[in-house]
Amino acid sequence: MSDLTKLKISEARDGLKEGKFSSRELIAAHLTAMGSAKGMNAFITETLDKAVDGATKSDDRRAKGDVGKLEGIPLAIKDLFCTKGVLTTAGSHILDGFTPQYESTVTTNLWNEGAVMLGKVNLDEFAMGSSNETSFYGNVVNPWRRTTDDQPLVPGGSSGGSASAVASNIAMGATGTDTGGSIRQPAAFTGIVGMKPTYGRCSRWGVVAFASSLDQAGPMTRSVQDAAIMLEAMCGFDPKDSTSVDMAVPNFEAALTGDIRGLKVGIPKEYRLDGISSEISALWEKGIEWLKNAGAEIVDISLPHTKYALPAYYIIAPAEASSNLARYDGVRFGLRVEGESLDDMYSKTRGEGFGEEVKRRLLIGTYALSAGYYDAYYLKAQKVRARIADDFKEAYKSVDVILTPTTPSAAFAFGEKGDDPLEMYLNDVFTVPASLAGLPGISVPAGLSADGLPLGLQILGRPFDEETVLRAAGVLEKAAEFTATPTAWWRG
């Protein structure tokens, strides 16, 4: 039997259906891969028993003709999703030992479709980061290496564990969450597909909150088709989330017709940043060419407030986080550092429980909401956000999708962007605007940098028009013919 871990979800689905292998065999292959890749530090918790048990049950269901959309498919779950009876950490010391007594809606949906959990994957602490260097459980290493040196590279963040697990064939797919680019950016850095659906498409219930008005779960896979399959299983209306949209879930896979003739593709001039690497610019040009060749119409558009998206994001997200993370106080779950008084206990617990980047953002957020500064910071940022959303609304009057690079550069080495948080924040320059506007976006691996690292292109769409986004992404994927894979150094 060929290496089962190399299969895409769509292929494994066919193989299982045709009885070429069982879910038990499929899971076993992935558990072996997981065992040999510890050096990547992708997993915080490996749930081997659960995986074997899940595979057995899946095979039983299949025998009875009860087959879900992801029947028997091995997935990795970002450790931001609460999983009943399984340690959930959000990559933070402050959630030490926290074992939820409930299961998030998104993972519930996945299990209901027959998926099997391999484990909980690493992430930036509370999803705050773009390089997976802020997890209490250590850095996740990118499976890719430059052809020019052996330096370990970051996988991007915050869904870095998800990205590395999928890129290195440990998991067939993984859940990610995207607040300002946390699915799309690591997908680009690891040469996989990552999709953030429209805000409201996936339920946030049971997902540890970072910034409520931005957080959105999505699939990370090795093909656009897989992303469509997985998204369809994950999303759907949830009455437990007031911001979940009561809308039928389309057959996303069926949207992948390969036909984008007449599709209007917008190219925003404001994304042609100074300092963008020439490789990225060249890739973007190629992307434009590919879509044009497939019959799309290219339209130059303007998103005038693009420049302000990052600063607005870095007020809104920390402000919401400062409130969302107030519940980590050592009273009901997680870490408690004893103190002389209640307040002393709070301060010590939170002082020791949160890492540096989280603390920095909580302080910024607290300050931005505090008396006398609310109007100048938070309110102003929310108004600028409305302007950014209006820019997109205006643009979508003349185009169907927008094509941009996903990131301004390829993956970088650990410590390379260490000292200045602002430099790190710039990683999300192309992903944040759509997050602020709540729009669907996907990153597709589209080429390699000169030193052999994957680069991604991003397609953005109208609210709840994931189908068109996927369709365009499918065409892009086909034209790009991205087949490169990382050399499996971690098995050495």
Partner 1 sequence: MGMIIQGATGDWEVVIGLEVHAQVSSNSKLFSGSATEYGADQNTQVSFVDAAMPGMLPVINEMAVEQAVRTGLGLKAKINKYSVFDRKNYFYADLPQGYQISQFLQPIVGEGTMTIELKDGEIREIGITRLHLEQDAGKSIHDQHPSMTLVDLNRSGVALMEIVSEPDLRSPEEAAAYVKKLRSIVRYLGTCDGNMDEGSMRADVNVSVRKFGDELGTRCEMKNLNSMRFIQQAIVYEANRQVDILEAGGKIKQETRLYDSVKGETRSMRSKEEAHDYRYFPDPDLLPLQFDDAYIEKIKADLPELPDEKKARFIKELKISDYDAGVLVAEKEVADFFEVVAKGRDAKLSANWIIGDFFGNLKRTSNTLSNTPVSADSLGALIDLVKDGTISNRTAKEVLEEMFDTGKDAAAIVDEKGLKQVSDTGAIEAAIDTIIAANLDKVEQYRGGKDKLLGFFVGQVMKATGGKANPGVVNQLLKPKLDG
Partner 2 sequence: MSLDKNTVAKVANLARIRVEEKDLEPMAAELNAILGWVEQLGEVNTDDVAPMTSVADMQMRWRQDEITDGGYQPEIVANAPSEEEGFFAVPKVIE
Q: Considering the complex, what minimum distance in angstroms separates the CB of residue 190 from partner 2?
A: 28
Q: Considering the complex, what minimum distance in angstroms separates the CB of residue 331 from partner 1?
A: 6
DSSP state of 329: S
Q: Considering the complex, what minimum distance in angstroms separates the CB of residue 441 from partner 2?
A: 13
Which residues 203-222 are close enough to bind partner 1 by CB under 8 A? 204-209, 211-213
Q: Using CB distances below 5 to 8 A depending on partner kind, what does residue 88 bind out of partner 1, partner 2, none? A: partner 1
Number of residues that bind partner 1 (CB under 8 A): 44
Strand order in the sheet with 216-221: 43-46, 116-121, 74-78, 173-178, 216-221, 193-196, 441-448, 454-461, 401-405, 264-268, 297-301
Residue 271 token pair? 């994304």
For partner 1, the closer of residues 137 and 189 by Cβ is 137
Is the Cα dihedral 257, 260, 463, 285 positive or negative? Answer: positive
Task: Return the amino acid letter for 213.
Answer: S
Based on the residue annotation, tell me whether 348 is a catalytic residue of this protein. no
Q: Using CB distances below 5 to 8 A depending on partner kind, what does residue 245 bind out of partner 2, partner 1, none? A: partner 2
For partner 2, the closer of residues 67 and 87 by Cβ is 87
Residue 44 host element (H or E): strand 43-46
Based on the residue annotation, tell me whether 182 is a catalytic residue of this protein. yes
Based on the residue annotation, tell me whether 307 is a catalytic residue of this protein. no
CB burial class (10 A; 0-12, 13-18, 19+) of residue 149? exposed
Which residues 98-117 are close enough to bind partner 1 by CB under 8 A? 98, 100-102, 104
Q: Considering the complex, what minimum distance in angstroms separates the CB of residue 373 from partner 2?
A: 7
Strand 264-268 versus strand 401-405 pairing type: parallel
Residue span binding partner 1 (CB under 8 A) among the ranges 3-11, 87-95, 136-144, 388-396: 87-95
Given the residues 158, 159, 168, 449, select the one marked as catalytic. 158
For partner 1, the closer of residues 83 and 431 by Cβ is 83
Interface pattern 402-441 for partner 1 (x via CB under 8 A): ----------------------------------------
Q: Considering the complex, what minimum distance in angstroms separates the CB of residue 239 from partner 1?
A: 7
Q: Give 371-414 as a 3 state SS string.
A: CCCCHHHHHHHHHHHHHHHHHHHHHCCCCCEEEEECCCCCCCEC
Residue span binding partner 1 (CB under 8 A) among the ranges 41-49, 97-105, 399-407, 468-476: 97-105
Given the residues 78, 120, 196, 417, select the one marked as catalytic. 78
- Residues 104, 81 contacting (CB under 8 angstroms): yes
HSE (CB half, 13 Å, CA atoms) of 173?
33
DSSP state of 251: -
Distance CA 13, CA 66 (A): 14
Q: Which chain residues interact with partner 1 by CB under 8 A?
A: 81-82, 88, 90, 95, 98, 100-102, 104, 204-209, 211-213, 239-243, 319-320, 322-323, 325-327, 329, 331-333, 342-343, 346, 366, 369-371, 374, 378
Looking at the annotation, which residues are catalytic? 78, 158, 182
